[in-house]
Amino acid sequence: MFDEMIQRAWSRAGTGEPPLSRAAIEQLLRPSARRAGRALEFLAASYVVMLALAAALAAANLYGYRGNPTMLAVEGGVLALSAAFAAFGVRIYSELRRIGRADLPLAEAVERRLAFYARRIEPWLAMAATTPWLLSFAITSLIDNEHGTYRINHPVEFGLVTTAMLVGTYLALRLSLVPIVVEMRAVLHDLRAQVIEEMPRAEAIRRRSRAWTAVGVVALALALLFSLWLWLRVA
């Protein structure tokens, strides 16, 4: 329904019909802006949950490895990183929520989200890319605890799995953000130009990305499970 409304508004340009008013354009674009904002909030919140779980498991591992100074230091590092990254994630989520709740003109709200994205994206991606690794290590070190010891029998394979997880998660996250950013930029362009021009293209990209996003989520989940299985074999 919404896609059809965007398409009809776009088609008016060459028909000689009177242009849409500023209020009508804002009303038409508001659902897209809201959807993009909620997508960013959901991503931030989901990684905070995973980091909180990693921190809880690392805390449990501190007791399990209480007699092993080396593993105590490692698990303490995992706990510290998970807690610090979770706090950063909460800050990101809170800032996004403040933008969403603020009574701002639509263009200003979109501008703030884009500025926030440009300012925070790289540190957030670095944090998020390490999240599956931290969670996986916390799980495997809990499962492989042999009377307070943890052995890495195949360090080369262990390093390769770690690198693959970090790089794969980073690339998957960056690609998943592309349609969200394209949609926000299209909304801002059309609000400034006072014409529906970029949104039909952004909607087409979003529709194509939905199938790939679903495939990507399944692939990422399978990759995480496979990494856990492989990690248990090489560790």
pLDDT (tens, 9 = 90+) of the chain, 235 residues, equals 445 554 455 445 555 556 667 777 788 888 888 888 888 888 889 889 999 999 999 999 998 888 889 999 999 999 999 999 999 999 999 998 998 887 788 888 889 989 988 888 888 888 888 988 898 889 888 887 777 787 777 778 778 878 887 888 888 888 888 888 888 888 888 888 877 777 777 777 777 666 656 665 666 666 666 666 665 565 5
- Rounded to whole angstroms, the Cα distance separating 85 from 69 reads 24
CA 232 to chain CA centroid, Å, is 26
How confident is the model at residue 88, as a pLDDT?
A: 92
- Rounded to whole angstroms, the Cα distance separating 94 from 100 reads 10
Say if CB 161 and CB 230 are below 8 A apart.
yes
- State how far the alpha carbon of 21 is from the alpha carbons of 18, 27, 69, 143, in Å: 9, 10, 68, 62
- Rounded to whole angstroms, the Cα distance separating 86 from 128 reads 10
How confident is the model at residue 75, as a pLDDT?
A: 93
- CB-based contacts of 2, cutoff 8 Å, min separation 6: 31, 32
Of 180, 176, 175, the closest CA to residue 36 belongs to 180
Q: Which two tokens mark 161?
A: 């799995």
How confident is the model at residue 66, as a pLDDT?
A: 87
Say if CB 129 and CB 166 are below 8 A apart.
yes
Of 210, 230, 218, the closest CA to residue 165 belongs to 230
How confident is the model at residue 53, as a pLDDT?
A: 93
Neighbours of 91 (CB within 10 A): 14
How confident is the model at residue 153, as a pLDDT?
A: 73
How confident is the model at residue 10, as a pLDDT?
A: 47
Say if CB 36 and CB 183 are below 8 A apart.
yes
How many Å is the maximal CA-CA distance in the chain? 80
Q: Which two tokens mark 54?
A: 């990693």
How confident is the model at residue 227, as a pLDDT?
A: 63
- Rounded to whole angstroms, the Cα distance separating 105 from 179 reads 23
Of 154, 123, 134, the closest CA to residue 231 belongs to 154
The whole-model pTM stands at 0.77
